[in-house]
Structures are given as C-alpha cells and as structure tokens.
Amino acid sequence: MTPIGTWNGETPPSFSGEDIQRAAQRIRETITILRHPVTAHVGVAFGGHFTPFSPDLSPGQQSEESGWPVLGILPPLYPEWLGDRSFLETHGTRFPYVTGAMANGIATTRLVIEMAKHGYLGFFGAAGLAKKHVEAGIAELTSVLGHNGPAWGANLIHSPNEPALEAAVADLYINSGVRKVSAAAYMNLTPAIVRYAYSGISRDATGAIHRTNYVFAKISRPEVAASFLAPAPSGMIDSLVNQRLLTPEEGQLARSLPVAEDFTVESDSGGHTDNRPLAALFPVITALRNQMAAEYGYHRPIRLGAAGSLGTPQAVAAAFGLGASYVLTGTVNQACVESGLHPEGKEMLAAAGIADVIMAPAADMFELGAEVQVLKRGTMFGVRAKKLSELYRSYASLDEIPPHERVALEKSILGMSIEECWDSTCAFWQERDPGEIQKAEQEPKHKMALVFRSYLGLSSQWAIQGTNQRRMDYQIWCGPAIGAFNSWTEGSFLADPANRTAVQVANNLLEGAAVVTRAHQLQTYGVPTPPAAFEYRPRPLN
C-alpha cells in the first residue's frame, strides 16, 4: 500500500480502512492529517514516508508534495506515554502497568522478577502464605532485584481474624526493605498498614518530605478510599509513637500525609470484589480524590490506577481514557506460565467465557459474609461453597445439622467425616494460632466456621497443587476479564497457555491500548475511522 501523501497525480485518492488502520497501528510515528482542497477528502500521512515532514510544518500550511492543506499533526505515541508520568518517575518503572498480588503465592516471585526486569511493577502474592514462606519469597526478591534496582512489591492483606499475622508481615516488610505493598481487602485502617505507610518518612533540608514506603490501596468503595486519602487518625499515630513503632518525627510528618498516594480502583475482578463497573466507580473516586486533596492541601500527586475486567486492549485504553495513572491486571496473569496455579487450572481458565464466573464465600472473611469471584466452568466449588454458607446461616453448631444434610456435607464437600475434618483443622491452627482452637471449643458456631473455612482454604491449594481427586473442588479466583482475554486472543499465539508469559500479555495489552488510543485520536480529528482501526491482534513483542 502506497503511503498517503506520496501521490503526484491530479485525481485525489480515496482512503481505505486499511490506510486508517495503518495510521492507528503505526503508533510510534508522527501522523499528519490532510484535507484535499477540492474534494474535502481527509487522510493521513505517516512519519518517515511523507517527505515534507518537518518541525516547522503546522496546521493551515500546505504540503509541498501533495498540495493538501495540513489540518493537524499528531505526535508519536508510545505505550510508555499512557497513564501518568509521575507514576513512572516515582516508582522507577518504564510502563504504567502493574501485575496484581494473587494470593497464596499464585503471583510468584518468578512472575514478579520477570515483570521487574522488563520495566513493569509486580506484586508478590503473600496473602494466605505462612510467615516463613513470605520470608523466603522476600529474601529471593531482594537477592535478585535488590532494593534500588527494578521496581517490585508484595501484598499486605487485611486479616481481621489474624491481626497478629498482619502485624508480623508488616514488620517483616519494614525490616526487609520492601518499598511497595499492595494493601488489599481493607475495610478500615489497622495499626499494621499505618505503621508501614509512615515508617521512614523524613524531611530534607529544603523542607520536602520523602517517603520510604509506598502503599497501593486497593479499593472499591468511597468510604474505604477516604480513610486512605486522609492522614491516619491522630489516636492511632500517637499509639504507634508511644509503642516506639514510629519515631516522634515520623508521627509528626504523618499528620500531613495521606496513608496512600497510589489507589488501585478495583471494579469487577477475580477474588474479593464488589462487582462495580469501572466506568461508574472510577469517576466517583476521582471526584473524592480531588475533593480531599484540596481539603487537606496536599501538594504531592495522588494517583488512581484501574483494575478489574482489563482483559483486552480496548478495556485498557478505556481505563486510561477515564484518567487512570496506571492499570493493574490479575486474572489474565493467573493463566500465565509464571503463575503458581497448576497447569490444569490454567487450561481451565483458557477455556472460560465472560459468563463463566460465580460469587462464593471467602475463606478469610467467612463469618463476615464476604465473597470472592471464582471460576464456575469445570468446577463445583462455587456451588458447594455456597452450600456451606447456607448451613452456617441456618444452624448454630455442627451438631444441629440434620442427618441428611450432614451425610451430603461429608460425602460431597468435605470428603471426610466432620470429626476427621475437625482433627485436621486443629492440627493446622495448632501451628498457626492455637487461640483459634480454644475459641472454637467455647463457641460451637466458631467451630463450625473453622471446619467450613478449612474446605474453602484447601480448595485453592488443590488448584495450585493440581490435586486430581479434588479437581471438581478447585477454587480459581477469576473475573470476567479472562473470558474477554480468551475471545481477543483466539486464533493468535496467545491462545495457547504455553505462550502466555506475563510480559507478552502486558506488552500486547499496552501496545494494543496505544493503537486503540491512536485510532480514537484520529477519529476525534475528523478522520473517517473504520472499526478495523480499533482492532489489534496479539503478536510476539520484545
């Protein structure tokens, strides 16, 4: 196809969908928008092919070669330029793209290392792991990536049932020099997250405040966002200072800084989710951010990222179009070769459609009624987990469960007698927190919750380990993004799970988002832009 702008004949050419698509695809070149003076045809010229390009060429002038008036010039567009430049500068990344901290180590150290080496930020999935495994993961990341090299982080999850574990992990991160955490599932602030956020803050000779640690607050509700947007409550700061968990200087500076300066606005995602549409949620959080920043007189930028349902270039471009400083992906990475999910689970994800998801009770917040979004296709976990929730709401203890319900529970869900399940549950808590056993012996309802939570917790482990005899009980956290991703990648090299590396997925989603953004730019400048210009097919990218 001859580039537009090189014809010398008197008859002006028409502009095909292929021409415009090439203009969108060639995102790294300057594009000049031209209009024929007689026919009013609008077209484009590509940088490097249209000879008269020069820095002095401006709208209103005529192209010497084509004789067409120049309507406008679009500068080159790079995937690195999507989002907020301050995100890249603050966190030392090349791209405004983050991989989420999928729990139980599904977001492996290998995944985090690969992303970091290619200019991305990844979070290690520490939630749900025993402290010794978290320590081993942090030690490996520190050894390979260091503290001042490529960017990386780890997860700090709100643990209302295990506050001591949450505090211990926060202490580990502070002492180990983990500079970024993804704060997930928080319903309110805790001393652990506040201590981490403000540890190491200082003021230099010019009066500028410097943060050592950065909290990425994962939020889906305005009231939770507000608690992270404000400085921590004075009483909590005073308590941390009195316990010598913060220095007096840190405590003083903390009163002028928000707990977090990066917010991951989570829409309809896998795992913990409120199932909110991003287009409805993001503007609300944006307005709240602007209001509170003005109220507290903040001078440092507060960035909003977008997460949930981001499985295609169009979705990623839309997130940046809403004003996202960065995007965060989760479910699509779980299907990648570096994730900790068993290959059988990855195959299941690769076969999922956008409707193949279901909400089910969450293991970590079962008594509170919290739910997570999981894969429905190929597994009975969602249905069986809902049955446990129904039994918990209906009866005060395990002994009250009717015989017919008990038989079904033991045979179809637990896979053992209730007594056997309780014995294994006790063995788990004896090592993790013996106080839970004592509480259960005194409160029959709590004992029932621990038995049911054992199934909910083990089901995710079965999916990670590939326990074949419990295949129908696999719990695989999953949002509708995976169905959209599978549809987009169908027939491409990314359709094969063996080719789904986290870096290739990120490269293609960002490159595609830049192409879609470029096509939209052309459209808004009046260029007749066919639907094909908004399409981007996956291809191997370095």
Burial class (CB in 10 A: 0-12, 13-18, 19+), 104: buried
Rounded to an integer, the average pLDDT of 233-245 is: 97
What's the pLDDT band for 482 if we cut at 50, 70, 90?
Answer: very high
Mean pLDDT of 439-449: 95
Q: Flag whether pLDDT at 4 surpasses 70.
A: no
Confidence of residue 408 (pLDDT cuts 50, 70, 90): very high
CA distance 170 to 191: 10
Of residues 74 and 47, which shows the higher confidence score? 74
What residues does 209 pair with on adjacent strands? Answer: 203
State mean pLDDT over 419-446: 93
**165-179, 291-305, 390-404, 518-532: least confidently modelled range:** 518-532
Predicted pLDDT at 73: 81
Residues 148-152, mean pLDDT to the nearest whole number: 93
The 10s digit of each residue's pLDDT in 12-46 is 444 566 777 787 888 888 888 877 666 666 777 77
The pTM assigned to this predicted structure is: 0.91
Residue % of the chain over a pLDDT of 90: 78
Specify the 3-state DSSP secondary structure of 73: strand
Give, for 291, the enclosing helix (H) or strand (E).
helix 278-296
Over range 415-433, report the average pLDDT: 93
Mean pLDDT of all residues in 81-99 = 97
The yes-or-no verdict on residue 66 having pLDDT over 80 is no
Average pLDDT, the chain: 90
One-letter identity of residue 39: T
Q: Compute the average pLDDT of residues 132-151.
A: 95
pLDDT digits (tens, 9 = 90+) for 377-387: 999 999 999 99
- pLDDT (mean) for 45-74: 56
Asked if pLDDT for residue 55 goes beyond 60, the answer is no
Q: What is the pLDDT of residue 364?
A: 84
pLDDT at 11: 42
Give the domains, in start order, of the chain with CATH numbers. 17-76+526-534 (no CATH), 80-329 (3.20.20.70), 347-473 (no CATH)
- Three-state SS across 340-382? CCCHHHHHHHHCCCCCCEEEEECCCCCCCCCEEEEECCCCCHH
pLDDT of residue 265: 98
Identify the residue with better confidence: 35 or 256.
Answer: 256
Q: Tell me the two tokens of residue 28.
A: 């790294």
Mean pLDDT of all residues in 362-366? 89
User: pLDDT at position 404, please?
Assistant: 96
Report the candidate in 374, 167, 211, 221 with the shortest Cα–Cα distance to residue 300: 211
In this predicted structure, which of 126-130, 154-158, 470-474, 502-506 has the lowest mean pLDDT?
126-130
Average pLDDT over residues 456-482: 96
Instruction: Give the whole-angstrom CA distance, residue 153 versus residue 168.
Output: 17
327 beta partners: 97, 306
Q: Give the pLDDT confidence score for residue 63 in this predicted structure.
A: 52
* Cα separation values, 224 from 20, 62, 181, 386, Å: 44, 55, 17, 27
